[in-house]
């Protein structure tokens, strides 16, 4: 094998034109999905302190914001709902209320932006009085099978409102099979199922839980979210969801888990989404605000790492700032 001075790799990156020739292309706006938080009511636009540039919005405000985001070419949206505390209960029954904020948002988006791909989060943590992702047993554990019943009903309600895609995030065993069966039984065979197939019990969700008002009142979610110390079990989670009928797999969080993403890419031909989560978003903003790096450059580099490792779809709060971050770069 020839070595220096015969081999000079700098020749391949000597000019901007040469670098552009060989570099991967930065993902376009059609590869981004914007996560949004919708509340019941009108005229609501509550900035989220821990997530600068993002807000909790009522449906009417969201529709105005979407005009700008769709004009940038963003291809899809992921809808999360909030409900007044007085409507939360032990089972999260407000999660499948057809008059709730998520179903209202889906119907309005479908009418005003018919070409936008609409996904909905399917989990009840924001709807339960205890903040866990399903009804609890007498001992205080999440009742896995009872949770699946609620999740399936929630998914069907979103499909009925017009969602193209439902995205179960509760990490219950068998949730994909339960939801697929319920969708098919109700005539929603064409509704895509994007599973949060490997979702870790992560320290990077803090800003999201503030935004969604969904932190557990007691305990944590380590008994049902994946452990970041167990690689094999993390991969099995996604393999099982594929076997149960998921159309798209998802890894969450993203930046600390590129090894998982690369291994998963090697093991499946399904599309893979990654969720560039709230803590990752806030982390880069905080670094930039302290003068520790250029925000746009850090976002572009981190985004390329996700695409390079195998992501087909990037769920990211940067989506609503696409032109600012990516076109200037």
For residue 217, the model assigns a pLDDT of: 73
Residue 152's pLDDT band (cuts 50, 70, 90): very high
Per-residue pLDDT for 213 more than 80? no
Q: What is the average per-residue pLDDT within 103-107?
A: 97
Three-state secondary-structure class, residue 44: coil
Q: What is the average per-residue pLDDT within 210-222?
A: 78
Q: What is the pLDDT of residues 15-59, one digit of tens each?
A: 999 999 999 999 999 999 999 999 999 999 999 999 999 999 999
Three-state secondary-structure class, residue 109: helix
Token pair listed for 96 = 């499948």
Q: What is the average per-residue pLDDT within 60-77?
A: 97
Q: What is the average per-residue pLDDT within 279-299?
A: 97
Q: What is the average per-residue pLDDT within 235-258?
A: 98
* Average pLDDT taken over every residue of the chain: 94
Q: Tell me phi and psi for residue 190, to 5 degrees.
A: -90, -5
CB neighbour class for 9 (10 Å; exposed up to 12, middle 13-18, buried from 19): exposed
For residue 304, the model assigns a pLDDT of: 97
Q: Give catalytic residue positions.
A: 199, 252
Report d(CA 94, CA 200) in Å as an integer.
26
pLDDT > 70 fraction of the chain, expressed in percent and rounded? 99
Per-residue pLDDT for 319 more than 90? yes
Report d(CA 105, CA 145) in Å as an integer.
28
Q: pTM for this structure?
A: 0.95
Three-state secondary-structure class, residue 250: strand
Residue 226's pLDDT band (cuts 50, 70, 90): very high
ω into 169 cis (within 30 of 0): no
> Domain 27-327 is in which class?
alpha beta
Percent of the chain as helix, strand, coil, to the nearest 5 = 45, 20, 35
Q: What is the average per-residue pLDDT within 132-157?
A: 93
Interhelix angle 231-244/175-185, rounded to 10 degrees, is 10
Q: What is the average per-residue pLDDT within 62-69?
A: 97
Residue 140's pLDDT band (cuts 50, 70, 90): confident
Per-residue pLDDT for 313 more than 90? yes
Q: What is the average per-residue pLDDT within 125-139?
A: 89
Q: What is the pLDDT of residues 153-209, one digit of tens each?
A: 999 999 999 999 999 999 999 999 999 999 999 999 999 999 999 999 999 998 888
Report d(CA 222, CA 285) in Å as an integer.
28
Asked if 304 contacts 276 with a C-beta cutoff of 8 angstroms, the reply is no
Asked if 167 contacts 191 with a C-beta cutoff of 8 angstroms, the reply is no
Per-residue pLDDT for 216 more than 90? no
pLDDT > 90 fraction of the chain, expressed in percent and rounded? 84
For residue 1, the model assigns a pLDDT of: 67
CB neighbour class for 312 (10 Å; exposed up to 12, middle 13-18, buried from 19): middle
């Amino acid at each position: 094998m020839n070595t220096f001075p015969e081999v000079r790799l700098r020749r391949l990156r000597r000019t901007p034109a040469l670098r552009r020739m060989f570099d991967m292309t930065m993902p376009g706006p059609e590869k981004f999905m914007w996560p949004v938080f919708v509340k019941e009511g009108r005229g609501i636009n509550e900035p989220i302190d821990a997530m600068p540039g993002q807000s909790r919005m009522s449906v009417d405000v969201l529709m105005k914001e979407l005009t700008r985001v769709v004009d940038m070419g963003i291809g899809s949206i992921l809808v999360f709902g909030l409900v007044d505390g007085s409507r939360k209960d032990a089972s999260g029954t407000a999660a499948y209320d057809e008059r709730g904020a998520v179903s209202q948002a889906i119907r309005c988006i479908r009418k005003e932006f018919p070409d936008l791909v609409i996904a909905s989060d399917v989990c009840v943590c924001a709807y339960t009085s205890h903040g866990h992702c399903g009804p609890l047993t007498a001992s205080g554990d999440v009742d896995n099978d009872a949770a699946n019943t609620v999740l399936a009903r929630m998914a069907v309600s979103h499909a009925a409102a017009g969602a193209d895609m439902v995205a179960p995030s509760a990490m219950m065993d068998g949730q994909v099979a339960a939801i697929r069966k319920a969708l098919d039984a109700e005539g929603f065979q064409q509704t895509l199922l994007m599973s949060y197939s490997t979702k870790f019990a992560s320290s990077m969700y803090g800003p999201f839980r503030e935004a969604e008002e969904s932190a557990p009142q007691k305990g944590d979610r380590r008994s049902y979210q994946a452990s970041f110390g167990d690689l094999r079990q993390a991969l099995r989670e996604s393999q099982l969801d594929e076997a149960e009928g998921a159309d798209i797999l998802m890894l969450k969080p993203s930046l600390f888990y590129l090894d998982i993403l690369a291994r998963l890419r090697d093991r499946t031909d399904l599309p893979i989404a990654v969720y560039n989560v709230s803590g990752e978003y806030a982390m880069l903003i905080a670094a930039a605000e302290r003068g520790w790096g250029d925000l746009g450059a850090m976002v572009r580099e981190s985004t390329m790492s996700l695409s390079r490792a195998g992501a087909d779809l990037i769920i990211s709060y940067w989506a609503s700032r696409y032109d600012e971050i990516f076109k200037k770069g």
